[in-house]
Amino acid sequence: MACQTARHSSHDPIIHRPVESSMTSTLSSHTLHGRGRLATWAAFAIALTALDLRTAVTGLPPLLETVGADLGFGIALAGLLGTVPAATFAVFGFLAPVVTRRYGLERTAAVALGLSAAALTMRALAPTPLALVASTVLALAGIGAANVVIVPLIKAWFADRVALWTSGYLLLLQTGQFVAPLLAVPVAQATTWRLSLGMWAVPVAVAAILWLALALALPSDHRTAGPGPGAHPRPVRSTTAWGLVGLFAAVSVANYSIITWVPSVLTDAGASATRGGSMLALYSAWGVLAALVVPQLATRMRNPFPVVVTCSVLLLVGYAGLALSPVDGTALWMCALGIGVSTFPLCLTLVNHRTRTPQSAATVSGFVQGIGYGLACLGPIGLGLVREATGSWTAPLVVLAATALVGVAAGWFACRPRLVEDTAPVHP
């Protein structure tokens, strides 16, 4: 299949739908807009990978008290384990594109998920707190790399159905994020906490095997999924890429901060711990709807900036509600916040729609997620310090409101329909 190069005038360096640049015939036959003998296996691999991306993260917290009592650690180590996901996702978000340029997307996914499966097994068998932390870092290192490569893998295998597959990927991610903590305690009570943690290694290992099989089935010269051997854009020189970074960082800070501190906001205002948990579940439930709707909007709208503005307004409403009336109207505030963080699926969709090739998408995905998750580490910690310094939750909520405004400014640049390659030089 011949792939066409996007052409733009100097007055309109913009596109309605990203098109592929000239690539090798091997890559073209691989893409085939999702058709072909291997596409079905790729579909299974993408779906299973998406389902696995959060189980290693959310399957542990409900068991921390039980695991701590068995291995002999307290709240300090539990807090450290809570910061590991975002920090690890940041580091390996940067490293993943380097590996994909040399070995290809499928090989990188296979190795990353294989590492994660092995580490999850080690975590289930951990004899000491140090072994638990080390194995958790290794497991999330693999997941962090998979976070990055799944976005360009969707572009590589299903280029004509990016919105549909992004919706499906996010829906399955949310499902795994919800199911893992739901099953954690019942499985541990019926068996042991080790089996409850270790069982998630099985689907991760299956996904790794699928990607390995696909990698072996592809021609050896398929490795570089880009405009030339090892060529990739420099996102650091692209205002579009930096806009995506700012938008992703703002929503990541908001999401991790809400998950970490909203239950405390409510209990400090007199609500029960049970109510805090139920309101957090209500907040999370909106992620399913966002996964279904937002990628479709991002695909159909030439410039989805109105989505960013709407989400930011809803975040401001939610923060104001929690500051002024945290107990009365809590459900309304949590719904506003749950819809407000819908810029997360928007960012992931735009990574594909603002890049020309799967390899460019991998580079930009690592750049955006690496910095975004890195800044997300600072959100919960920083807001906790502000809370300690001021003695109330008003100041932390004002800080979060400011991040929503940062998201609007960044979203202006991220949503402009311009390709990263058109504003950032491509180099080998």
What confidence score (pLDDT) does residue 415 get?
A: 94
What pLDDT score was predicted for residue 379? 82
CA angle, 320 then 325 then 328, to 5°: 130
DSSP, res 10: S
Is the Cβ–Cβ distance between 347 and 242 less than 8 Å?
A: no
The token pair at 402 is 């400011």
Does some domain include residue 7? no
285 and 411 share one domain: yes
Q: Are 213 and 250 part of one and the same domain?
A: no
- What's the predicted TM-score (pTM) here? 0.73
Looking at the fold, whether 166 and 238 belong to one and the same domain comes out as no
Do 319 and 213 have their domain in common? no
The secondary element (H helix, E strand) that includes residue 427 is: strand 426-427
Residue whose token pair is 């009365």: 328
Same domain, yes or no: 158 and 268: no
Does residue 4 belong to any structural domain of this protein? Answer: no
98 and 145 share a domain?
yes
Low-confidence stretches of the chain (pLDDT < 50) are 1-34, 221, 223-230
Residue 131 and residue 243 share a domain: no
- Establish if 16 belongs to a structural domain: no
Residue 171 forms part of a structural domain: yes
Q: Exposed, middle or buried: residue 351 (CB in 10 Å: 0-12, 13-18, 19+)?
A: buried
Q: What is the pLDDT of residue 23?
A: 33
The answer to whether position 242 is within a domain reads: yes
Which one of 225, 242, 262 terminates a domain?
A: 225
Q: Which helix (H) or strand (E) holds 233?
A: strand 232-233
Instruction: Tell whether 256 and 369 lie within a shared domain.
Output: yes
What's the CA gap between 313 and 401, in Å, rounded? Answer: 9
The reply to whether 14 falls in a domain is: no
Q: State pLDDT tens for residues 87-132.
A: 888 888 778 878 888 888 899 999 999 999 999 999 999 999 999 9
Rounded mean pLDDT of the chain?
82
- Predicted local confidence at residue 6, as pLDDT: 37
Residue that is last in its domain, among 195, 225, 255:
225
Q: Is residue 376 domain-shared with residue 421, that is, in the same domain?
A: yes
pLDDT reported for residue 232: 64
Listed residues 225, 259, 291: the one ending a domain: 225
Q: Are residues 296 and 221 in the same domain?
A: no
Say whether both 199 and 313 belong to one domain: no
- 418 closest CA partner among 9, 145, 120, 122: 9
The predicted-structure confidence for 264-301, as pLDDT tens digits, reads as follows: 888 888 887 677 767 877 888 888 888 888 888 888 89
Say yes or no: 268 and 206 in one domain.
no
Question: What's at 375, amino acid-wise?
Answer: L
Domain count, the chain: 2
69 part of a folded domain: yes
319 within some domain: yes
DSSP string, 307-338: HHHHHHHHHHHHHHHHHH-SSTTHHHHHHHHH
- What is the residue range of 284's domain? 233-427
Residue 426's pLDDT is 58
The CATH number of residue 39's host domain is 1.20.1250.20
